A and B are shown apart, each in its own frame.
Chain A
Amino acid sequence: MPRVKGKIEIDQERCKGCGLCISVCPMKVIDFGEGFNAKGYHPAEPKYVEKCIACGFCYNMCPDVCITVYREVESA
């Protein structure tokens, strides 16, 4: 069965760098960024987004609702 391909986007300015998404991601897609956002946090970044399977775990655990999850579909 082909693996489901997904993609996530993290709102860098909303993220408070708590790391809950990093702790629950089964594919280790997310990691802290090196830069700072306006609030002074290291936001989480989808660094290895090619491994994403669109499970939505990060979205479910994000306390600041800054993650959007996409899933690849056959284009009509």
Chain B
Amino acid sequence: MAFQVILKRPESLTQREFTYCPGCTHGIIHRIIAEVIDELGIREKTIAVAPIGCSVFAYQFFNTDATVAAHGRAPAVATGMKRARPDLYVFTYQGDGDLAAIGTAEIVHAANRGEKITTIFVNNAIYGMTGGQMAPTTLLGMKTTTTPYGRKADNDGYPLHVAEIIKEARGVAFLARTKVNTPQDVQKTKKAIKKAFLAQIKGLGFGMVEVLSTCPTNWGIDPVSALKWLEEHMVPEYPLGVFVDKVGDEQ
């Protein structure tokens, strides 16, 4: 009898340690993307576009070519790279402060043009890097450093549902919203991200996955409670599901 490795660090991640706080699910999402790139065998032909935010160092973590875009402009940068080199595969990795606030114009038009890029949108309902300010995706009643009494609709507006906005764009080939708070959901997220990449590989159009994520540090709770908080508070506000699927079943 001998032991065989069945799960180990994917090749598409570098050996560098993540700079995220303990229990931050950014790391899980990074690993899923790296596994998908490994499985599709496109590591040598992939370019990552990192955003501004906690995941600004994503270019150090993915063992692919990578760049960093100006705040919110990752889809625009990815558009340029994909059009210049249509033989390469380009994906953007963006948080909610990047994609849903300052980058709303870029993501809406990239989706509407049907740019053959993939976007991974990490929604944790708060600005992480800058210290827990209110994001457009912050839930009503949720306390942040800029809404110390809880977000109120009459003053701060309503949570922005990005996936529901993007789904109306006709250039979208795959769009789903998933979460990463249980091992089962991690696997579902991986399937969705794989399809979002396949949408690009098959040349069908824009692929995006919105991943509900946690921010234990700025939510002010421990990592395990954060997983429960996501389930109890974020899932009712942001319903999960596949909104657009032109990819069909995997081969």
Contact = CB atoms under 8 A, between A and B. Distances in A.
Physical interaction between A and B: yes
Interface of A: 7, 14, 16-20, 23-24, 41, 54, 56-57, 59-75
Given A18-B223, A75-B1, A64 B18 contact: yes
B37 to A, nearest CB: 14
Contact of A18 (B6, B13, B17, B23): B23
Given A17-B22, A19-B23, A56-B183, A72 B2 contact: yes
Interface in B1-44: 1-10, 13, 17-18, 20-28, 30-31
28 contacts: A18-B22, A18-B216, A19-B23, A20-B23, A20-B227, A23-B227, A56-B6, A60-B183, A60-B187, A61-B28, A61-B186, A63-B18, A63-B22, A63-B23, A63-B28, A65-B27, A65-B31, A67-B7, A68-B8, A68-B9, A69-B5, A69-B7, A69-B8, A70-B3, A71-B6, A72-B2, A73-B4, A75-B1
Contacts of B223: 18-20
B5 A61 contact: no
A27 B54 CA distance: 33
A57 B183 contact: yes
B1 A73 contact: yes
Nearest to A58: B183
Interface of B: 1-10, 13, 17-18, 20-28, 30-31, 182-183, 186-187, 216, 222-224, 227
Nearest to A67: B7
Given A19-B23, A59-B7, A63-B28, A73 B186 contact: no
Contacts of A75: 1-2
A24 B183 contact: yes
Contacts of B8: 68-69
Nearest to A23: B224
B25 A63 contact: yes
